[in-house]
Chains A and B, each alone.
Chain A
Amino acid sequence: MEAAEQWNWVLLAYGFCYAVLVVFAVSIAVRISRARDRLGDQT
């Protein structure tokens, strides 16, 4: 396999990895924000 083709797989792997990590981090941030808003409504 040529190096250029190998780089395509590497980019796919890193794109997948960092996309998952960013989505997970954002999901935590969004859930914290929503929980704070709902707790604010309760008090």
Chain B
Amino acid sequence: MNAQQTTQAPSSTWPWIVMAIAGLVTFVASMTVGPDAVQGQLSRILYVHVPSAWLAYLAFFVTMFASAMYLWKKDLAWDRRAVSSAEIGVVFTGLALGLGMIWAKPTWGVWWTWDARLTLTAIMFFVYLGYLALRRTTTDLHLRARRSAILGVLAVIQVPLVHFSVVWWRTLHQPPSILKPEPIDMDAAIFVTLVIAVVAFTVMYAAMMYKRIELARLEDELLLAEQTADSPVAGSAVTAPLIEGGGA
């Protein structure tokens, strides 16, 4: 698809509608379920905190897969999928951290503690910010894709480190409630609400990916167009002097 075809093709609006519906479903589900017996109303924060953390895991695994596919196929479409997922993953990692802090203050009494889960999540957030920064170091599309693909494959090791940190070390953060080998022992209504929120956020991620990949494709086309455009020769803008209103 060339640049002219892209500018003529209308940008689809359905992903925005899907995102809004997914956000609304999560909000309604998490506000209508009863409060937790111990945490009270504060437990409602977990219906957006847990899906955000889940999407960070998912997004960085998708980045790893797309990066590996780029290294194998050398197709820039895989690079665009990798960067799109990484950027969305950074947003959801930031959300998981921020929402966790808002939950921690009234529950633990502090906004932040150097707990293994929190610290490793913060490191993961900054490593993937570095991934996005790395892509700005060159305008060569394949060099950029290769560099970031290597980081995209290596950086995913942080995801199991973050997830199992609460099992491997003594942490203030509670152990996994769903992604664990033992049977799930939470109340059915809370579990169903959490599943609805996770599914809705995953649908939101898919819609975001659709639009973000469209943006990545446009940015690549723009970069190519700028690189292949005829550069003006130095001095070509200078014209011969003419007297205003005068003849030649």
Contacts of B44 in A (CB 8 A): 10, 13-14
Q: What is the CA–CA distance of A42 and B27 in the complex, to the nearest angstrom? A: 43
Nearest CB in chain A to that of B219: its residue: A35
Given the interface pairs A3-B40, A9-B45, A9-B102, the reply to whether A39 lies near B91 with Cβ below 8 Å is no
Interface residue ranges of B213-243 to A (CB < 8 Å): 214-215, 218-219, 221-222, 225-226, 229
Partner-binding segment picked from B1-9, B61-69, B127-135, B159-167: B1-9
Q: What is the CA–CA distance of A29 and B20 in the complex, to the nearest angstrom? A: 14
Nearest CB in chain A to that of B105: its residue: A9
Out of B95, B106, B221, which one reaches A9, CB within 8 Å?
Answer: B106
Nearest chain B CB to A17 CB, angstrom units: 5
How many chain A residues touch the partner (CB < 8 A)?
A: 28
Nearest chain A CB to B101 CB, angstrom units: 9
Nearest CB in chain B to that of A7: its residue: B41
How many chain B residues touch the partner (CB < 8 A)?
A: 41
Interface residue ranges of B80-97 to A (CB < 8 Å): 88, 91, 94-95
**In the complex the two chains form, is A20's CB within 8 Å of B48's CB?**
no
**In the complex the two chains form, is B211's CB within 8 Å of A3's CB?**
no
Q: What is the CA–CA distance of A42 and B99 in the complex, to the nearest angstrom? A: 43
Can you list 25 A-B pairs with a CB-CB distance of less than 8 A?
Answer: A5-B106, A6-B40, A6-B41, A6-B42, A7-B41, A9-B45, A9-B106, A10-B44, A12-B102, A13-B44, A13-B99, A13-B103, A14-B48, A16-B99, A16-B102, A20-B95, A20-B98, A21-B19, A21-B204, A32-B11, A32-B215, A39-B3, A42-B3, A42-B222, A43-B4
**Which residues from chain A sit less than 8 Å from chain B, CB to CB?**
1, 3, 5-7, 9-10, 12-14, 16-18, 20-21, 24-25, 28-29, 31-32, 35-36, 38-40, 42-43
Seed contacts A14-B45, A16-B99, A42-B222; 17 additional CB < 8 Å A-B pairs = A3-B40, A3-B41, A9-B103, A9-B106, A10-B41, A13-B45, A14-B44, A21-B19, A24-B91, A32-B215, A35-B215, A35-B218, A35-B222, A36-B6, A36-B218, A39-B6, A42-B226
